[in-house]
Structure 1
Amino acid sequence: MTGFAELWQVGDAVTRSVALLLLLMSVSAWVVILWKGWLLARARRSIARAVPAFWSAANLEEGRAALQNFDQDDVVLPLLDAATASAASNTLEASGRRESRLTRRLRDALHAVLQRLQFGQVLLASIGSVAPFVGLFGTVWGIYHALVTMTAGGSLSIEKIAGPVGEALIMTAAGLAVAIPAVLAYNIFGKRIGVCEAELEGFAHDLREMLDSTEATQ
């Protein structure tokens, strides 16, 4: 922290801008990490409780009530709503086969849920890939600024160069400190989203098969 404070004091506008950008990236990444960790934990818990409760119900009405009780984050219920919604007459949606309409509605509902679960992944990936280069740029600029300042003040020596160069290297360390949590969180959340996606796809497939069978028997 002392080296960073000294670098802030002796740095120019570019150095300070890089430091502020890294700080903004770090705050943004941790906000998304904490929020997505909470969201995905609730979503996985909702799926684990709501899906078995739905299939344990005696009919669709009781199944919907079970989803409303257990699916607090609305990750499963939108699929049932899409599957049981009625299409408006005299529209292209109502003109196709019932099986095709059902598949399209379930697909659109599934994509909407997954888009909500994936929100923030692009930000984490961007921060994880850009932050090291931002830190490296801050290091290079800090070294250049220190050398220019020392050159204007007289002769150079290894003792005079070592301090400013060491302080400038803090920017590279800061860039890595920002990037590493973002990359790890991106990979962990990607795996959890994949698990949720597989479970929701399975539920959508089973729901479609059930509704097709119900329609065939009527």
Structure 2
Amino acid sequence: MFEMFDQAKIVDATLYVLLLFSVITWVLILFKTWQFSKCGYYNRRYSAAFWDAPDLDAAARLAELQSNGTTVRIAVHGFKWLSQFHQPERVDAMRFRGEPRKLLEQTLRNQTQEQQRRIESGLTMLASIGSTAPFVGLLGTVLGIMKAMHDISRNGSASLDVVAGPIGDALIATAIGIAVAVPAVLAYNFFMRQAKHHRAALEHFVDGFLHITQGDQQPFGLKVVDAPVRLSRGL
């Protein structure tokens, strides 16, 4: 079996796989850092403007000025639902049958889950690399040692010079596997914590949105009958 393979090629193949894992890990780390930073900036910017708006009509028009961020996308879907709710032909639509507040809440919660899925994309890959990289390195080490033992038994020599070199080279794969796994695991834990904070912020915004839409005498307080709000941007 081992006559068909070269020890160096076995270890090198493992190292190439680990190199690919490392590249993917650092690309994901850089991308998720940029994504969370950008999302946090736009969410804070829109939330501050939203809560400073004098009424829901003014808050809805803010979506025309900003289309980035997860908070604004949730707000746009909420305003779109409210705008359609006030239209006369909406009584025949199945999606408007039921208690209005629960229907609006369902729309906002569904959009929250969609935005959360986007922000968490790629984290599964980090977790997978963190859990499999050490085993890939160990596989290279085991195969390298097996090949080294086979060569020793074939040559009939077990001196330190013969044993130390091949086994030392094989152990490099395990060390690199651990080195690749550590940043992947740390990054996964960090970004999952950020994702939890992001989810909590979205839930807080949705709760506030549902609360203020019940503040006036009109249904949900949105006065859009005479001046419909344009809500095309940001979707």
Mean Cα deviation higher: 148-157 or 27-36: 148-157
Q: Which residue is 1:3 aligned to?
A: none
For 1:68 and 1:45, locate their aligned partners in 2 and report how far apart those are by CA, in whole Å.
17
Question: Does the Cα contact within 8 Å between 1:22 and 1:135 map onto a contact in 2?
Answer: yes
Query: Structure 1: where are the runs of 5+ without partners?
Result: 1-8
Q: 1:28 maps to what in 2?
A: 24
How many residues are aligned here? 208
Over the matched positions of the two proteins, sequence identity in percent amounts to: 33
| Gap change, CA 1:22 and 1:162, over 3 Å in 2 | same
**Alignment match of 1:73 (pick from 63, 68, 77):** 68
Question: Which residue of 194, 197, 205 maps to 1:203?
Answer: 205
How far is 1:80 from its partner?
1.2
Q: CA RMSD in A?
A: 2.0
Partners of 1:89 and 1:143 in 2: how far apart?
74
Q: Which moved more, 1:167-176 or 1:153-162?
A: 153-162
In structure 2, the CA distance between the partners of 1:163 and 1:125, relative to structure 1 (3 Å rule), is same
Paired with 2:71 and 2:196, the residues of 1 have a C-alpha distance of 15
Q: 1:53 is aligned with what amino acid?
A: A
Residue of structure 2 in register with 1:148 after alignment:
150
Alpha carbons 1:53, 1:67 under 8 Å: kept: no
Residue 49 (structure 1) aligns with: 45
Q: Retained in 2: the 8 A contact 1:54–1:67?
A: no
CA distance 1:82–1:185, shift in 2 (3 Å): same
Once the two structures are TM-superposed, the CA of residue 180 in structure 1 deviates from its matched residue by: 0.5
Pair 1:17 & 2:13 matched: yes
State the partner residue of 1:60: 56
Corresponding residue number in structure 2 for 1:4:
none
Separation in structure 2 between the aligned mates of residue 99 and residue 123 of structure 1, nearest angstrom: 38
- Matched with 1:187 is 189
75-84 vs 59-68, which deviates more?
59-68
Alignment partner of 2:101 out of 90, 93, 99: 99
Q: Mean Cα displacement is larger for which, 77-86 or 123-132?
A: 77-86
Secondary structure of the corresponding residue to residue 137 of structure 1: helix
What is the DSSP-based 3-state SS (H/G/I as helix, E as strand, rest coil) of the residue aligned with 2:121? coil
Contact 1:103 1:208 in 2 (8 A): yes
Question: Comparing both structures, which one devotes a greater share of its residues to helix?
Answer: 1
Residue 121 of structure 1, aligned match among 86, 110, 123: 123
Q: Structure 2 unaligned runs (5+)?
A: 1-5, 224-235
| Alignment partners' CA distance in 2, 1:91 and 1:176 | 56
Amino acid at match of 1:122: T
User: 8 Å contact 2:138–2:173 — kept in the other structure?
Assistant: yes
SS of residue in 2 equivalent to 1:49? helix
Asked if structure 1 preserves the Cα contact closer than 8 Å seen for 2:7 and 2:147, the reply is no
Alpha-carbon offset, residue 28 of structure 1: 0.9
Q: CA deviation at 1:216?
A: 5.9
* Kept after mapping to 1: 8 A contact 2:43/2:69: no
Rounded to whole Å, the distance in 2 between the matches of 1:90 and 1:62 is 29
